[in-house]
A and B are shown apart, each in its own frame.
Chain A
Amino acid sequence: MLESLRDLYQEVVFDHNRNPRNFRVMEEATRKIEGYNPLCGDRITLFVRLNDAGIIEDVSFQGQGCAISTASASLMTEMVKGMTEAQAEELFANFHRVTTGQTDDAELNGLGKLAVLAGVRAYPARVKCATLPWHSLQAALKSDAENISTE
């Protein structure tokens, strides 16, 4: 592969794109939301099960997206499982700052596995691919709304 592409398309991204984790319908979800990126027409359905203590017990997704959005959704489901709403919010806030280039590399450490997606900051047209699953999660946690758009 071209050296210049490796920042964006790391092996972990390809792995999650080929074999997305938690890629399933969740019958017992307490929240279900449709995410939509009008720029590319991508749709994601996100399923979340919150317990009474506000902890994300389970999270899964369905939909067809590009490698970046699929990997981002897959990584997100792995990472936020077991988190409280506040913890998930904080992780997204960090991730958002990194992907939109508003931060220095120090904050990359706090992202854990998500750091593989940091390369997207060099591709302004692709940032929304990486953040769509997160905007959807945020909307699912905050409200009972059925639809979320990145616009």
Chain B
Amino acid sequence: MSHNSYDVQQIRRDFPILEQTVHGFPLVYLDNAASNHKPLAVMDAMRHVMLHDYANVHRGVHTLSQRASEQFEQARHKVRNFIHAAHDHEIIFVRGATEGINLVAQTFGRSNISPGDRILISAMEHHANIVPWQMLRDQTGAELSIIPMAEDGSLLLDQLDALLDDRVKLVAVTHMSNALGTLNPVADIIRKAHARGIPVLLDGAQSTPHMAVDVQALDCDFFVFSGHKLYGPTGIGVLYGKTVHLENMPPWQGGGDMIRHVTFEKTTYSGLPWKFEAGTPAIIEAIGLGAAIDYLETLGMEAIARHEHELLHYATEKMLAIPGLRMVGTAEGKGGILSFTLEGIHPHDIGTILDHYGVAVRAGHHCAMPVMDFYGIPATARASLGLYNTHQDIDRLVDSIQQLIKVFH
């Protein structure tokens, strides 16, 4: 799809929730990094399966169960194509990126990490890519080490070689920072780690909505993302893992669907991917996620990325012209996240007042407290872009920030 054919006004009609007023102003939704809205196609797909085809998957011989199973597995196939995985069975459905990371920590981690080993993460991780590793550290006697970052919010990669010593057994880094917008040079990190035989997990919760992802080209060992940040439903997410890892990992949760044979003495487990999908999965949500992927592919991830980059550039320039505004996260490679502070105005006041102008932004630590500590601030206000945002949205944001500065000074 060419640049010119990206018709954002047409696209906005697919998101009826955007057509409303908040405190008397047309809604400007700029909290997409927390969660974004669902196109009608996603709602229709979820409604359709419940109206016509729903039943539990995998175990039934009856028609509805077979239809639901087909659509559920079709959703898995869509995810595989979307991130360019080699096999459907490398796609594990989980609740979200958080659960995906916990699964890897508790299976791969518990069987591969010993006392004195290291897990290497970065200074800009979301709590979801910190806490599961701290839990694993405490369970195994391992250590956590951190790739530091520079003031602009880019990783200090020149320190990576020294950090990647023999004790490191796993690298887990974010593909794109939720608090700063930094796009990390993950291909470099993976190459360096693999040169020492160290596997790499990528947290793709923020990157997947904004860019095309190719897990084989990246050569990452694990990749996680959430459906609700990808214009899909809550309660569904994906763990991608290379077959060789997934086969060697023990199951995580035990229950139905993940077994081959059970007696009271012994259980043998299902093959991939079901070994990691105990219990009835989020069937309707998986099908909704598949519909979200269809929708994104119709627009084209490249076209979405171009649109958002142009908006990011436009917004950055306009916002930096506001006196007293400090942009937090100014790395060269950035996705559509504008984290900022205003001199003398606390981010929570910014959030409340912008809301009164109909502008939805997030204010807080963005589940990245170590990032806030790095900058010596308690919080930031964060505007995050989605595929349906417009130049007018940015104008409204900037105008509202100028209004609120007047109120405060």
Q: Which residues of the partner chain A approach B24 to less than 8 Å between Cβ atoms?
A: 4
A40 at the interface (CB under 8 A from B): yes
Question: Looking across the interface, which residue of chain A has its beta carbon closest to that of B350?
Answer: A66
Is A42 part of the contact surface with B, judged by Cβ < 8 Å? yes
B256 contacts A by Cβ under 8 Å: no
Residues of A close to B408: CB separation below 8 A: 14, 67
Interface assignment of A2: CB less than 8 Å from any CB of chain B: yes
Contacting residue for B348 out of A1, A4, A129, CB 8 A: A129
A9: chain B residues within 8 A (beta carbon)? 349, 353, 407
Report if B164 contacts A (CB, 8 A): no
A1 touches B363 (CB 8 A): no
Provide a sorted-by-A list of 19 A–B residue pairs whose CB atoms are within 8 angstroms. A1-B407, A2-B356, A2-B357, A4-B23, A5-B407, A14-B408, A40-B363, A41-B369, A41-B372, A41-B379, A42-B348, A42-B378, A43-B378, A64-B378, A67-B346, A68-B348, A68-B349, A70-B346, A125-B352
Q: How far is the CB of A44 from chain B (nearest CB, A)?
A: 11
Interface residues of A in 4-23 (CB under 8 A from B): 4-5, 8-9, 14
* Complex CA distance for A42 and B372, rounded to whole angstroms: 11
Residues of chain B with a CB closer than 8 A to A67's CB: 345-346, 349, 408
Is the pair A66, B407 in contact by a Cβ cutoff of 8 Å? no
Task: State whether A66 and B348 are in contact (beta carbons under 8 Å apart), knowing that A41-B365, A41-B378 are contacts in the complex.
Answer: yes
* Chain B interface residue count, Cβ-Cβ cutoff 8 angstroms: 20
- In the complex, A4→B407 CA distance in Å? 13
- Residues in B whose Cβ lies below 8 Å from that of A125: 352
Which residue in B348, B365, B372 is a CB contact (below 8 Å) of A126? B348
> What's the Cα separation between A66 and B239 when bound, in Å?
39
Residue among B348, B357, B378 with most chain A CB within 10 A:
B348
- A42 (CB) vs chain B CBs: closest residue: B378
A5-B349 in contact given A14-B408, A40-B365, A41-B372 (Cβ < 8 Å):
no
Q: How far apart are A42's CB and chain B's nearest CB, in angstroms? A: 6
Q: How many residues on chain A are close to B (CB under 8 Å)?
A: 22
Could you tell me which B residues sit within 8 Å of A by CB distance?
23-24, 345-349, 352-353, 356-357, 363-365, 369, 372, 378-379, 407-408
CB contact under 8 A between A40 and B378, given known A4-B23, A9-B407: yes
Binding site secondary structure of chain A: mixed
Minimal beta-carbon separation of A91 from chain B (angstroms): 24
Q: Report the minimal beta-carbon distance from B341 to chain A, rounded to whole angstroms.
A: 11
Distance between Cα atoms of A64 and B364 in the complex (Å): 14
CA distance A112 to B347 in the complex (A): 28
* Residues of chain A from 80 to 130 with CB closer than 8 A to chain B in the complex: 123, 125-126, 129
**Complex-state Cα separation, A126 to B357, whole angstroms:** 17
Q: How would residues 22 to 65 of chain A score, 1 for a CB under 8 Å from any chain B CB and 0 otherwise?
A: 00000000000000000111110000000000000000000011
Distance between Cα atoms of A66 and B154 in the complex (Å): 29
Assembly CA distance A64 to B344 (angstroms): 10
Other 19 A-B pairs with CB < 8 A, given A41-B364, A65-B346, A67-B345: A2-B356, A4-B24, A4-B356, A5-B356, A5-B407, A8-B352, A9-B353, A9-B407, A40-B364, A40-B365, A42-B346, A64-B346, A64-B378, A65-B378, A67-B408, A70-B346, A123-B352, A125-B352, A126-B348
The answer to whether A5 and B348 touch across the interface, beta carbons within 8 angstroms, is no
CB contacts (< 8 Å) of A4 on chain B: these are 23-24, 356
Bound: A5/B25 CA distance, A: 14
> Which residues on A sit within 8 Å (CB–CB) of B365?
40-41
Complexed CA–CA distance, A2 and B353 (Å): 9
State in angstroms the CA–CA spacing of A26 and B353 once bound together: 34
Closest 8 pairs between A and B when the two form their complex, measured CB to CB? A66-B346, A41-B378, A66-B348, A41-B365, A67-B349, A1-B407, A66-B349, A5-B356
Q: How far is the CA of A65 from the CA of B363 in the complex (A)?
A: 13
Nearest CB to that of B378 among chain A residues?
A41
**Within the assembled complex, what's the spacing in Å between the Cα atoms of A125 and B347?**
13
Query: For residue B356, which residues in chain A have a CB less than 8 angstroms away from its CB?
Result: 2, 4-5
- Complex CA gap A141/B346 in Å reads 28
